[in-house]
């Protein structure tokens, strides 16, 4: 995951690539990013099913290598319609990786370490993200095409590394529930609490997702912040998470329910968007402050979302449960950028930030209502 995220360069700068390099409209940029989301939706669902059928190792290797190959092709394509098709294909294989990786962590985690295991994975993710996105800002200021070449090469290397470093292990014959107090339907869509939880989670991650898709265009076009600085601001997210998240989780995970911390996180993310409505000359300082508050919210929310999903699943159906969560992010890629760019063009960026803050407050309320129905005891996971 560290290597994977070090190469995550192209998609965060996709909006700028379409508007600045290809000289197309923000609406076209939103369309391309949305098509990435459409491919991600199908990739998440198919990846979850394939993980349950063939195992997380094979799915991770295959999806990473194929996604890398298609990324290498992307900068050579100039026809916009073909780019649209390629966007769907790339995101399909990129997101088929997610449920498999989610399942792998739960499989290798020792009893009592699940939340910390996911935090450790996020530590690797965010160290890689911080380094990669900061480097991407430098590369984008020189040549946008290099972003795709680097990411494609790294993804191929990721697939090869998994084949060498992640050894095959026998499949557990009998599924073991991580939390035996909660009934576990074989099919996740029969789990009423899970369906409600995923719905509210989708609302949260859709709003959060725009920080890394619409925000770079806003910072460039409205606040005149250059690509190098945008890369550093986004890289700050990963750096703070890498330094503090595991420490934070270790101190708070035993104190309150998982849903409580998710609610706190959603509220913090709402506040972060409101900071971008401040009319002041110190745009760079506000952007940094907004990213820091957003990151605090992310550290509270995302690790505990993982905890709840793992707690509702077992070894036989964890791939499909993980696919449901991956689907939340995939839907966020579909709904978020297209709707976000459309609303920004129609009513302005300030109205977009107000709307996102309102939706995040609603998601926090939704999580708080679900807390009484949870049945998940974070201390036992």
SS (H, E, C) 304-332: HHHHHHHHCCCCCCHHHHHHHHHHHHHHH
The C-alpha atoms of residue 333 and residue 44 are separated, in whole angstroms, by 12
The C-alpha atoms of residue 325 and residue 322 are separated, in whole angstroms, by 5
- The DSSP call for residue 112 is T
Tracing tokens 């994977």 back to the chain, one arrives at 4
Q: Tens of pLDDT along 52-111?
A: 888 889 999 999 999 999 999 988 888 888 989 999 999 899 888 988 888 888 888 887
Q: Quick one: which H or E segment has residue 286? A: helix 283-311
Q: Around Cβ 262, how many Cβ atoms within 10 Å? A: 30
User: How sure is the predictor about 33, in pLDDT bands with cuts at 50, 70 and 90?
Assistant: confident
How much is the pLDDT for 176?
43
- The DSSP call for residue 17 is I
How much is the pLDDT for 168?
66
In the chain, the largest separation of any two C-alpha atoms, in whole Å, equals 62
Q: Tens of pLDDT along 312-335?
A: 877 778 778 877 887 787 788 778
How much is the pLDDT for 276?
95
Helix axes 258-275, 349-371, angle to 10 degrees: 170
Is the CB of residue 307 less than 8 Å from the CB of residue 281?
no
3-state secondary structure at position 372: coil
Given 3.50.50.60, 1.20.140.10, 1.20.1250.20, 3.20.20.70, which CATH number is that of 2-165+179-380?
A: 1.20.1250.20
Tracing tokens 């506000």 back to the chain, one arrives at 286
How much is the pLDDT for 373?
64
User: How sure is the predictor about 169, in pLDDT bands with cuts at 50, 70 and 90?
Assistant: low
The tokens of 309 are what? 């999903």
Which pTM does this prediction carry?
0.71
177: pLDDT strictly greater than 50: no
Average pLDDT over residues 246-250: 85
Cα 26 to Cα 30, 193, 221, 310: the distances in Å are 6, 38, 10, 38
The tokens of 138 are what? 């430098």
Kindly state the percentage of the chain with pLDDT values over 90.
31
- The DSSP call for residue 21 is I
CA-closest candidate to residue 14, choices 98, 133, 97: 133
The C-alpha atoms of residue 79 and residue 57 are separated, in whole angstroms, by 35
Is the CB of residue 370 less than 8 Å from the CB of residue 252?
no
Q: DSSP states of 227-275 as a string?
A: HHHHHHHHHHHHHHHHHHHHHHHHHHTTTS-HHHHHHHHHHHHHHHHHH
The tokens of 317 are what? 């159906």
CA-closest candidate to residue 321, choices 120, 167, 177: 177
Residues 45-64 as b/e (b if ≥16 CB within 10 A, e otherwise) read bbbbbbbbeebbbbbbbbbb
How much is the pLDDT for 9?
78
Is the CB of residue 198 less than 8 Å from the CB of residue 325?
yes
State the first-to-last Cα distance of the chain, in angstroms, to the nearest integer: 23
The C-alpha atoms of residue 376 and residue 380 are separated, in whole angstroms, by 9
The tokens of 380 are what? 């036992």
User: How sure is the predictor about 241, in pLDDT bands with cuts at 50, 70 and 90?
Assistant: confident
């Amino acid at each position: 995951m560290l290597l994977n995220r070090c190469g995550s360069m192209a998609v965060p700068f996709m909006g700028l690539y379409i508007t600045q390099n290809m000289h197309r409209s923000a609406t076209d940029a939103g369309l391309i990013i949305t098509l990435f989301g459409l491919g991600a939706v199908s990739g998440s669902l198919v990846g979850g099913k394939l993980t349950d059928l063939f195992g997380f190792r094979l799915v991770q290797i295959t999806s990473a290598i194929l996604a890398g190959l298609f990324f290498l092709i992307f900068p050579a394509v100039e026809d916009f319609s073909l780019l649209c098709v390629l966007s769907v294909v790339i995101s399909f294989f990129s997101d088929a990786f997610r449920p498999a990786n989610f399942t792998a962590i739960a499989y290798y985690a020792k009893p009592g370490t699940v939340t910390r295991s996911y935090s450790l994975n996020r530590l690797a993710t965010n160290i890689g993200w911080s380094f990669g996105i900061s480097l991407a800002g430098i590369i984008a200021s020189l040549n946008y095409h290099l972003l795709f070449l680097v990411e494609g090469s790294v993804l191929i290397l990721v697939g090869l590394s998994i084949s060498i470093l992640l050894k095959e292990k026998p499949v557990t014959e009998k599924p073991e529930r991580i939390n035996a107090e909660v009934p576990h339907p074989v099919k996740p869509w029969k789990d009423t609490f899970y369906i409600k939880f995923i719905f509210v989670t989708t609302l949260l991650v859709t709003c959060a997702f725009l920080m890394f898709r619409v925000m770079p265009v806003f910072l460039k076009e409205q606040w005149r912040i250059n690509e190098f600085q945008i890369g550093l601001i986004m890289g700050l997210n990963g750096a703070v998470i890498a330094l503090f998240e595991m420490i934070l989780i270790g101190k708070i995970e035993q104190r309150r329910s998982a849903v409580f911390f998710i609610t706190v996180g959603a509220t913090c993310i709402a506040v972060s968007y409101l900071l971008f409505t401040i009319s002041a000359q110190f745009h760079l300082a506000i952007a940094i402050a907004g990213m820091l508050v957003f990151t605090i919210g992310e550290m509270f929310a995302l690790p505990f979302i993982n905890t709840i999903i793992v707690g509702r699943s077992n070894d036989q159906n964890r791939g499909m449960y993980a696919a449901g969560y991956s689907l939340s992010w995939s839907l966020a890629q579909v709904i978020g950028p297209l709707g976000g760019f459309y609303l920004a063009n129609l009513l302005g960026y300030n109205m977009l930030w107000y709307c996102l803050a309102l939706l995040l407050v609603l998601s926090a309320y939704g999580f708080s209502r679900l807390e009484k129905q949870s049945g998940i005891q974070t201390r036992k996971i």
